Every structure is written in structure tokens, then in C-alpha cells.
């Protein structure tokens, strides 16, 4: 079945099987390996991407369901002026160790701050509660998202 899916601003036209999960479309059809795929049970959240501006577990959506929609992956975070503050935050606060959960955490983190620029630690913890990190104990992830909230896009970013 022919689909046109806009990923990170580019329209991709592909002929795919309707049973293909969105995560596999992104990784295998488009070769965008930034989005990870971890659990097969909709629990880990490393596969989170945005569909039309909202985070979604891409292992629990068929690619055909995204036909005609916009998808944003971790590769789409970086802008012409460099890293997105959410990416910078993970660097500043050592928000990752192995990095497996990181793409999903960043996509949800960016959404949380867009919705609520003054987000509290508790709200961040609730916001990422559908995503699992086996390494960090979450503390630095929460701090990284807080850091990004305090350094909005366009403000001076320390390199």
C-alpha cells in the first residue's frame, strides 16, 4: 500500500505492508536508527516519536495509520542553530549512560516542556512514567529536562 509520511519535514513515499509498525518503517524503510525499539509490549517507551506534535509509542501504531501525517523523530530535534535545548540538557546533566532510552526520553521531554515551560520535577517524573531507563535511575534525566526548560530555544546555550 502506498503511503506518504512526512518525517522531520521531508515527505517519504513508500509502498509498505499495512502490518508494518511505525517504528520499523522509521528504522528499516527510512534508515533513521535514532528511534529505538525495545520491548514489544508497549511498556519501555524508547520508540517514542511525535505524530502531529504529540508523543506516541511507535511500536504500537501501524505505519499506514501515519499516512498523510507528520512524524518527528530524535533526528528532527536539531535545528539550523545546532542542538535543541533538550539535547543540550542531556549533555549538561549527564542524562544518559548507555543511551538506549534517550531518544524516547528526549521526544517526551521536549513535548512536556512545550506544554508547560515551567514544569516541576514531579510533573516530569509523571510525564516520563511510561518510559524505562535501566541505567540512570532517572535523576539525571529529570534534571536534563529541567535544564532544557530553563534554557528555552533561542536563549544563550552553553556549549
Partner 1 sequence: MQTPAPVDYARATSVDHALQLLEQHGEDARVIAGGHSLIPMMRLRIASPTTLIDLNDLDELKGIRVEGNEIVIGAMTRHAEVLDSAILAEHYPIFREAEKLIADPVVRNRGTVGGSMCQADPSEDLSAVGSALGGTVVIRSKSGSRTVPIREFHFGPYMTQVADGEILTEVRFPIRPGAGSAYEKVERRVGDWPVASAGVFVVVRDGVVSDCGIGLTAVGAEHFSAPGAEEFLVGKAPTEENLAQAAAIAADSCSPVSDQRGPADYKKHLAQELTLRALRRAVAASQGA
List residues binding ligand FES (CB under 6 A): 37-39, 42-47, 57, 59, 96-101, 133-136
> If you count them, how many residues does the chain have?
159
Region from 47-55, 81-89, 92-100, 148-156 binding partner 1, contact rule CB under 8 A: 47-55
Q: Give the CA distances from residue 53 to residues 70, 73, 107, in Å, rounded to whole numbers and listed in that order.
A: 8, 11, 10
* From candidates 5, 7, 61, 77, binder to partner 1 by CB under 8 A: 61
C-beta of residue 77 within 8 angstroms of C-beta of residue 148: no
Residues whose CB is less than 8 angstroms from the CB of residue 96 and which lie 6 or more positions away in sequence, other chains included: 90, 102, 105, 135, 136, 140, 141
Total number of residues binding ligand FAD (CB under 6 A)? 2
Q: Which of 5, 26, 30, 48 binds partner 1 (CB under 8 A)?
A: 48
- 4 near ligand FAD (CB under 6 A): no
Nearest approach, Cβ of residue 81 and partner 1 (Å)? 28
Q: Counting Cβ atoms within 10 Å, is residue 159 exposed (0-12), middle (13-18) or buried (19+)?
A: exposed
Site string for ligand FAD, 30-59 (x = CB under 6 A): ------------xx----------------
| Burial classification of residue 54, based on how many CB atoms lie within 10 Å of its CB (0-12 exposed, 13-18 middle, 19 or more buried) | exposed
Query: C-beta of 56: minimal distance to partner 1 in Å?
Result: 6
Q: What residues form DSSP beta bridges with 6?
A: 11, 70
Q: Return residues touching partner 1 (CB under 8 A).
A: 1, 17-19, 21, 40-43, 45, 48, 54-57, 60-62, 64-65, 67, 108, 126-127, 129-131
List interacting residues with ligand FAD (CB under 6 A).
Answer: 42-43
Amino acid at each position: 500500500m502506498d503511503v506518504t509520511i512526512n518525517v522531520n519535514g521531508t515527505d517519504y513515499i513508500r509502498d509498505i505492508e499495512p502490518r508494518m509498525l511505525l517504528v520499523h518503517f522509521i528504522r528499516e524503510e527510512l534508515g533513521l536508527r535514532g528511534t529505538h525499539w525495545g520491548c514489544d509490549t508497549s511498556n519501555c517507551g524508547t520508540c517514542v516519536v511525535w505524530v502531529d506534535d504529540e508523543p506516541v509509542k511507535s511500536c504500537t501504531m501501524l505505519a499506514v495509520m501515519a499516512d498523510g501525517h507528520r512524524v518527528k523523530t530524535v533526528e528532527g530535534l536539531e535545528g539550523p542553530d545546532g542542538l535543541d535545548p533538550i539535547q543540550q540538557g542531556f549533555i549538561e546533566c549527564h542524562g544518559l549512560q548507555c543511551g538506549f532510552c534517550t531518544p524516547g526520553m528526549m521526544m517526551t521531554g521536549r513535548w512536556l516542556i512545550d506544554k508547560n515551560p515551567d514544569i516541576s520535577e514531579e510533573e516530569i517524573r509523571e510525564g516520563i512514567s511510561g518510559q524505562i531507563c535501566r541505567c540512570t535511575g532517572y535523576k539525571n534525566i529529570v534534571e536534563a529536562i529541567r535544564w532544557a526548560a530553563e534554557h528555552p530555544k533561542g536563549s544563550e546555550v552553553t556549549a
